[in-house]
Amino acid sequence: MRHLIRNNIAIRSSLALLGVSLIIGIFFSFASYVYFFDDEQKHTIRTMQDLLNSAENTTSIACYLSDKNLANEVVNGISKNNVVSKVTIHSGEKVLAVSKKQALPISFELPVVFKQYPDFITREIFSPFNPREKVCTVNMEINQATVNKNSTDKALFIVELLLFQNLLIASVLSLIVFVFFTRPIKLISDRLHALSPQKGELLEHPENNKENELGRLVNDVNKIIANLVSSLDEEKNLRIQHALEEKKFQTFFENAETGIFKMNSHGELISYNQALVRMLSLKTDDGSPSPALLDLISGQELRLHLMIDAALKESRVVSEDFCIEPGQLKEKKWINVVLHAAENDLLQGLINDITDRKYKEEAAQHLAVTDHLTGLNNRLGLERKLAHLMKENALGHPSPFFLLLIDLDKFKEVNDKYGHKAGDMVLIQFSSILTGILRKTDFIARLGGDEFVVLLCDLTDQSKAIEIAGKIIAEASRPVDVGHGISARIGASIGINYASGTSVSAEKLLAETDQAMYEAKQSGRNTYVLAEYASSQDQASSV
């Protein structure tokens, strides 16, 4: 029952109206009861007064004449009223007449809210001939029980009428509320409960309620339903579109040639596609983070962690090239790693195999520093090599070396006499001589024409440098077959300079060595001169 009352607005509203009406009815009924009870008491007193007034003249004559019979008739007449319990006429000290009847017992004591009235009335009777002469006294006792009963009966009747009226009004109001409010609301609720908004169903307006507040409520609900259906359709389309895009992305993810991965801030791979597996020769695992990338770039971890910090803290895309040796064959491979920050301190990235590009770049770099005729380094190669050595010296990592600047003697005569093709053959032959004499760690460059440079790296022994220069001069003096049974003879003038590792410019070093080589030519060619003794002709040595 409590559940029914709590969940049924019609019953609750009816009970509320009845309860309020009952409380109000009780209050006004009690007030009416007090009022009409008091009014009935007053009416009884007035009635008694009227009885005495009507019998006053007769009583006056009876008392004046001391006529007991007449006095008895008076008291008997008065006693006929049911609210009178006893009437006594006193003439002086004697009782002239008395009438008494059995009084009803008082059934209850009046509450303090009721005004208390006297239980008897006393009236002095004067002579009919002299209004100032008192002839007797009339005492009339009131039957209070009868008065209370009459008052209560009248008051209760009024109370019953008021309660019935309030109950009737509450019932009518409950009916009105049910018909005009709770019933339409319940109909709306029932229809709304059975509604399928995803199918586009709308509420129907309750009868005779299309233009009022309930009608507007239904219109608003229907508008919400329409918006909901539109949102559901849009969401459905978005889900379909998302599924298609996700499928496309999954297909791209699985079949892309680019390695795609997700990585934590420690540089461990969390997820990756098959292209990355093939590229890095990864082993499939149970889904736990893989440190494979860190293992592959061993020795380059700092660069990777710097990339991670830059991507996470600066929210920018970072890219670096790494050289790795994946797989069991440890084949050298170049990869380009691109990182950018994702959610929850994770990173997303791409890895591309740039080995071919790197090899092409290296080939281009090699071509840029290589002499096309001899295959030796050219002037650019020499400048880069010297710049590197000078930089190492400046950083406190000295790499001492000897610099030999070589100019071929009588080379112009070979060109003029036998042609440029013969000259090229001489240059190629001399390049082979240098390659055969020098170590693999030494550096050889052709500056152009018939000028060559040799760097004897990590060498501090001057006698060893002189010995090598002597071998070069000796080998250069041998005849060179230039074809058609013709042999050409050349020589070599060499300037020798020593770079001890102290800070010195490459330009100054070359200038000093060039001066030594010039002194060698001036000394009769086919010889060498040490740069530190270039000013002294006596220090030139011949082979």
Which structure tokens are listed for 458? 């990590």
Q: Which residues pair with 122 in a beta bridge?
A: 139
**In which residue are the tokens 């093709």 written?**
421
3-state secondary structure at position 414: helix
CA distance linking residue 404 with residue 400, whole number of Å: 13
Other beta carbons within 10 angstroms of residue 496's beta carbon come to 27
Cα dist from 517 to 80, 265, 274, 282, whole Å: 173, 60, 62, 58
Closest to 9 measured CA to CA, from 195, 185, 173: 185
Task: Considering the candidates 407, 450, 461, 514, report the single residue annotated as catalytic.
Answer: 450
CA distance linking residue 214 with residue 203, whole number of Å: 12
CA distance linking residue 231 with residue 531, whole number of Å: 90
CB-based burial of residue 257 (10 Å sphere; 0-12 exposed, 13-18 middle, 19+ buried)?
A: exposed
Cα dist from 112 to 34, 104, 251, whole Å: 11, 22, 97
3-state secondary structure at position 242: helix
Task: Say whether 450 is catalytic.
Answer: yes
Contact 354, 336 (CB under 8 A): yes
3-state secondary structure at position 482: strand
* Extended strands (E) in 110-185: 120-126, 134-142
Which structure tokens are listed for 407? 């100019």
Helices 420-437 and 462-476: crossing angle, nearest 10°? Answer: 150
Which residues are designated catalytic? Answer: 450
